[in-house]
Structure 1
């Protein structure tokens, strides 16, 4: 077996649900082999910290799916033909746009996510976490994912968008399904693909939901982000209707799916490292380090795709125009060339992770995700006494890219009253 074939075979093992609980040994094997092509396909895999950083910063690295030579039906993360309605390929969200369109749309939305505006949400976020822990104290049972990691970000993003919380269960189902479109798959791994028909239905229904909500907000605007986007003007520019709908869908999915994983992965790491949990309980200022290390050690987004808008060279790999370059940032985050003892969870380390990307597409929601994560782990450490995983490793969701536990059942002594 050639080295290239061996690397491809190893990479495809990441698609197997059986490795979801701990894919990092596979990432290490892929990284050790260096960048490679998947067979004769126009797909390049890079996994070292240096190569991923270079790709994220390269001026020819594009997010415009129309440039790719990859057959889209084999790459749902670039929007398959079966999910065109789901992602509104004719008017994609700014996640899939290059400047100047990306700059225009991001500028309109970014006003709601500046560090100053996000900081004002801290009292509300703290109240949501404390309310959640109060309910757990009454029931006596605690699933970190269902009872804390999920309710917090979905409540925040629903309140920001002006989505009624009564609609949350349906939105959760659509969002979870559509998050699968960000998973890499191939025809050689069809047994791990999501059902295209189910994805298309979820996308159509989610778009219809926001169509209806937008109609209602136009007639009765409120203080929410959706109303602000409808009325938004920046240098005389506004969101078109299709752009508005696709942006709402993006904010819903990106605004909570990734943060659910961040909170779940952070608390799971603390449960497995009780010394760090005790240190956080004694000093809440350590919460920022816990979140940054979680973003490196067990990132909620494992892979980032880019498309070569022109020929380029990354490391010792020549990349052709139209090639899809898949950056395995979960592998890059454990690169021993950058991180000392990379498989050790260490919230005190100097972190240079790539979890939020780099450059023009640096994650718009990073300040909000960081704040939600810090508040969640701090209040968990302060109020939950003697916690321990009832099942370790816990069950994981099917997602390859937006990877996180499906549940973390918890044993605990008590939930102390809020202060």
Structure 2
């Protein structure tokens, strides 16, 4: 076993990439006791991409996650029953069946139709801080934007958004902990069940008055037999709400922080705004919102001379893979002009993120309007605050200044 810095260490949370580099250089696979008592960590791009596509590795991993300790099995049974039905934690054929239902809502033409709404929301959020010399970008833009967009797609009233953010945060803390505490699991359960109750009401409304939204699409699929139960329907609603908010929020925050920390790259985008689509892909690679994921070994296998047994947990370190010099030249350098090699920030294989295009479009619109409205934007002279979550890397607070001179925040 190769010793590594704790994944919850403050220095690691602020900058995990030196630790990833040390792991990568020490070898391609490592056993760590930090994840549920033991897991295989993978550090290299080729290996991470391979295991995300390998059918011998299962995404069905919530059983040990939620009820790892015997005394918690009854206490968290309701959580497990709903959590495990989410598409994110299913293998084929169930994953394929549910993904097929949702695909139409995330096709390019559907995202293109949503573009005016995204631009309108970003404009409103920037209008609210237009006259402020400094503001917290996370609170002003990165947190409210994605939840308003996914709410629109699901036909949800904006009035519930404050609850959505709290529920999503509780789930992120639980999912992102290498070994969640019972208290974290209980909070996540309470939030997931609250989501379920909210969607119970919304689903009943949609049964009476269907619309052109994702919840109505799931209801139609349930009637057609493509969604197998009411609980399965509710689980997809909760997953969409959580996933649609968490990743985009952190891409916006991490991306802006990276750009303002590299002012030459910010200036280049001002001069060449056509680079924005490639720049967003580079920002995803440079500081991925999702730093790792998990798989369970479904059949004994060997990898890099190590015997992986059925039931073992495998943790592909996405953040490490994205900085692999075997895949990217000068991987620690931000280059908004783009790179030839893609990242694994949205996963790979059957479980590649269904909302990847939506997330990229939200980021492109946000950065485009920021560049136009605040060309002199810079980091405020106060520390940023990183979320204490090694899986979902993001900023709690990102103070920025819209003008010149000393910043008072």
TM-score (norm: length of structure 2): 0.90
After superposition, residues 5-404 of structure 1 pair within 5 angstroms as 6-7=2-3, 10-11=4-5, 13-34=6-27, 35-38=29-32, 41=37, 43-65=39-61, 72-73=66-67, 83-86=76-79, 88-89=81-82, 92-186=85-179, 195-232=184-221, 237-347=226-336, 348-391=338-381, 393-404=383-394
Q: Deviations over 1:231-284 (max 9, x none)?
A: 237975345211110001000000011100011111111111111111212222
- How many Å separate the matches in 1 of 2:400 and 2:163? 26
- How many Å separate the matches in 1 of 2:206 and 2:356? 27
- How many Å separate the matches in 2 of 1:357 and 1:140? 38
- How many Å separate the matches in 1 of 2:312 and 2:298? 8
Cα 1:260–1:137 shift into 2, 3 Å: same
Cα 1:316–1:109 shift into 2, 3 Å: same
- How many Å separate the matches in 1 of 2:260 and 2:177? 30
Tell whether the 8 Å contact from 1:105 to 1:239 is kept in structure 2 after alignment: no
Tell whether the 8 Å contact from 2:290 to 2:345 is kept in structure 1 after alignment: yes
User: What are the ranges of 5 or more consecutive residues in structure 2 without an aligned counterpart?
Assistant: 405-409
Cα 1:109–1:60 shift into 2, 3 Å: same
Q: Deviations over 1:142-200 (max 9, x none)?
A: 2211111122211100111111111100111011111122224238xx6xx86332222
Tell whether the 8 Å contact from 2:83 to 2:235 is kept in structure 1 after alignment: no
- How many Å separate the matches in 2 of 1:194 and 1:56? 30
Cα 1:102–1:25 shift into 2, 3 Å: same
* Comparing 42-51 and 101-110, the one that deviates more: 42-51
User: Residue 386 of structure 2 aligns to a residue in which SS?
Assistant: coil
- How many Å separate the matches in 2 of 1:216 and 1:391? 49
What number of residue pairs does the alignment pair up?
Answer: 398
Tell whether the 8 Å contact from 2:101 to 2:217 is kept in structure 1 after alignment: no
- How many Å separate the matches in 1 of 2:76 and 2:374? 42
* Comparing 263-272 and 13-22, the one that deviates more: 13-22
* Comparing 82-91 and 336-345, the one that deviates more: 82-91
Cα 1:73–1:367 shift into 2, 3 Å: same
- How many Å separate the matches in 2 of 1:341 and 1:90? 40
